[in-house]
């Protein structure tokens, strides 16, 4: 093989290798799981574990993700849209921050209704009808799920009475259950550390 033929073959091989690399990069990026307002927190962290730190950097409230009980319950049922509503975050900004962190282009734009959280009114002040309070933060910190005890306490309410529920995170699945049982459910926006005060009223 002459020198000119050798260099010609080498150029062909380099072009072929470059083409395969570009094709592989394109396939890798187009196969990425998208991040949308409907993405559940658990699914987000399953596909992009590094985004846990991104969420924590976004707000100190996400430190609650360190709790295994929350990851196994709330995170599986709570979407980014729900979280943004409850926390008063700009959903478009949050989505784009997460997408950018994992190299997904095409910024998302969406409308987030700040007045409701999937049927749960977000209040500016606590209601005056509170007759009982349960703080489930110690239970969750120990890895226990408070669902049964909260439902039991809510069932003991008389008409017009309200149970205040204090949790370290928005307990979306539990609140959905209570809504389905006919209770009126509302909440205050989470505090800076993620603590949530929800209110369950017997109609």
Per residue in 100-135, pLDDT (tens digit) is: 888 887 554 554 444 445 678 888 899 999 999 999
User: Residue holding tokens 């975050």?
Assistant: 89
Could you say which of 115, 130, 164 is where a domain stops?
115
The percent of residues above 70 in pLDDT, for the chain, comes to 73
Q: The pTM is what?
A: 0.60
Give pLDDT, residue 87. Answer: 66
Domain presence at residue 28: no
Give pLDDT, residue 113. Answer: 46
**CA neighbor of 187 nearest in space, from 195, 80, 139:** 195
The DSSP line for the chain is --HHHHHHHHHHHHHHHHHHHHHHHHHHHHTSPP--TT-BHHHHHHH-TTHHHHHHHH-GGGGGGG-HHHHHTHHHH-BHHHHHHHHT--HHHHHHHHHHHTT--S-------TTEETTEEE-SS--TTEEEEEE-HHHHHTT---HHHHHHHHHTPPTT-EEEEEESS--HHHHHHHHHTT-EEEEPPP-TT--EEEEEE--
Which residues form the domain of 51?
41-115
Distant-in-sequence, close-in-space partners of 133: CB < 8 Å, separation ≥ 6: 163, 164, 165, 166
Tell me: do 133 and 109 sit in the same domain.
no
The mean pLDDT value of the chain amounts to 79
Residue 16 has pLDDT above 60, yes or no: no
Tell me: do 109 and 133 sit in the same domain.
no
Tell me: do 165 and 95 sit in the same domain.
no
Residue 150 has pLDDT above 90, yes or no: yes
Domain presence at residue 25: no
Q: How many domains does the chain have?
A: 2
Tell me: do 83 and 131 sit in the same domain.
no
Tell me the pLDDT tens digit for each residue of 168-197.
Answer: 877 877 888 899 999 999 999 888 777 899
Residues 27-31: what's their mean pLDDT?
49
| CATH code of the domain in which 184 resides | 3.30.110.40
Give pLDDT, residue 198. Answer: 95
The DSSP line for 75-122 is HHH-BHHHHHHHHT--HHHHHHHHHHHTT--S-------TTEETTEEE
């Amino acid at each position: 093989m002459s020198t000119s033929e050798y260099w010609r073959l080498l150029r062909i091989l380099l072009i072929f290798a470059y083409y395969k690399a570009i094709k592989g990069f394109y396939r890798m990026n187009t196969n990425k799981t998208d991040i949308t307002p409907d993405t559940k927190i658990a699914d987000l962290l399953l596909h992009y574990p590094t985004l846990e730190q991104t969420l924590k950097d976004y707000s100190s409230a996400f430190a609650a993700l360190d709790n295994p009980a929350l990851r196994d319950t709330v995170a599986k049922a709570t979407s980014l849209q729900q979280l943004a509503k409850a926390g008063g975050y700009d959903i478009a900004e949050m989505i784009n921050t997460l997408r950018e962190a994992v190299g997904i282009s095409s910024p998302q734009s969406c409308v987030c209704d700040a007045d409701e959280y999937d049927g749960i009114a977000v209040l500016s002040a606590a209601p005056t009808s509170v007759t009982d309070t349960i703080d489930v933060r110690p239970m969750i910190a120990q890895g226990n799920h408070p669902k049964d005890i909260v439902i039991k306490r809510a069932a003991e309410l008389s008409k017009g009475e309200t149970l205040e529920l204090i949790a370290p995170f928005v307990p979306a699945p539990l609140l959905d259950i209570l809504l389905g049982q006919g209770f009126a459910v509302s909440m205050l926006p989470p505090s800076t550390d993620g603590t949530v005060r929800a209110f369950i009223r017997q109609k």
